[in-house]
Amino acid sequence: METVSENACFGGVQGVYSHKSRACDCDMTFGLFLPAEARDGPVPVLWYLSGLTCTHENAMTKAAAQGWAAEQGIALVFPDTSPRGAGVADDEAYDLGQGAGFYVNATQDPWAAHYRMWDYIADELPRVLNANFSIDEERQAITGHSMGGHGALTLAMSLPGRFTSVSAFAPISNPTASDWGRKQFTAYLGDDEATWAAHDASLLMRERGFDGPVLVDTGTSDQFLDLLRPEALAAACAERRQQATLRMQPGYDHSYFFISTFMEDHVAFHAEALYAK
């Protein structure tokens, strides 16, 4: 692992680091904010998964999360959204290829060689963090935006006991029924739609639910509402009788202005669950 940069931030350190990823077979970069409390021992961690076209840097610089995390003594992890590099398959479309890993393990060519973002987020990056930083591996929570909200919800429900809480900003909630999902799942996973269900938050909610609190915010003026399908997740939560707070925020769109507005709520939501464990 190499240190790309480290900056003082709200009494702690905002770092950027790179490492050779075995899962993705390329170099990967991530951001990590460590609060001042990390100097004295392991701290709880909140994962933030970003959306389409983003890198580790977008949320790190735009989400206004570090100040709230510092108040709660929580670390923040900002992974990248896909493998990258000259030898990594890509596409001219913004919603496929580099910047659009969709947090799945691709099984189809040319994507299968590198696009193993599920393994990277679920297994490899946690090992890197635990080996190199003062992180409490028993107290972890997860959030994300759009494609990253999809990833946060599906990872949380598929890894029982890993995360104390899950939240999302404008998640792609029902990708098997959306053009933000069907296109990518066909490319990455193939034509057998039965393999897609493991990566659909609404289907997983009906089948498994989540053993903990759920918070989801979506803007009523989100320009991608038809692609996000928040109503599908709401119906699944009601059917499951899931402990969840699903909010439609009037006037807000899909941007980081929306995310930064409600970031305090989400960090406090996760802090309550992390410190109750």
Q: List strands edge to edge, sheet with 26-34.
A: 2-9, 12-21, 26-34, 75-79, 43-49, 135-144, 166-169, 214-219, 244-249
Whether 222 sits among the annotated catalytic residues: the reply is yes
Looking at residue 277, its pLDDT comes to 79
Catalytic residue among 56, 114, 199, 254: 254
Q: What pTM value is reported for the model?
A: 0.97
For residue 166, the SS3 value is: strand
Catalytic residue among 50, 82, 146, 167: 146
pLDDT in tens, the chain (277 residues): 999 999 999 999 999 999 999 999 999 999 999 999 999 999 999 999 999 999 999 999 999 999 999 999 999 999 999 999 999 999 999 999 999 999 999 999 999 999 999 999 999 999 999 999 999 999 999 999 999 999 999 999 999 999 999 999 999 999 999 999 999 999 999 999 999 999 999 999 999 999 999 999 999 999 999 999 999 999 999 999 999 999 999 999 999 999 999 999 999 999 999 999 7
Contact 115, 15 (CB under 8 A): no
Whether 254 sits among the annotated catalytic residues: the reply is yes
Name the residue among 160, 162, 153 with its Cα closest to residue 181.
153
What is d(CA 167, CA 214) in angstroms, rounded to the nearest whole number?
A: 6
For residue 117, the SS3 value is: helix
Whether 158 sits among the annotated catalytic residues: the reply is no
Looking at residue 106, its pLDDT comes to 98
CATH 3.40.50.1820 fits 2-276, yes or no: yes
Catalytic residue among 80, 200, 217, 222: 222
The residues, ordered by sequence, that sit 6+ positions from 99 with a Cβ below 8 Å of its Cβ are 52, 53, 54, 55, 81, 82
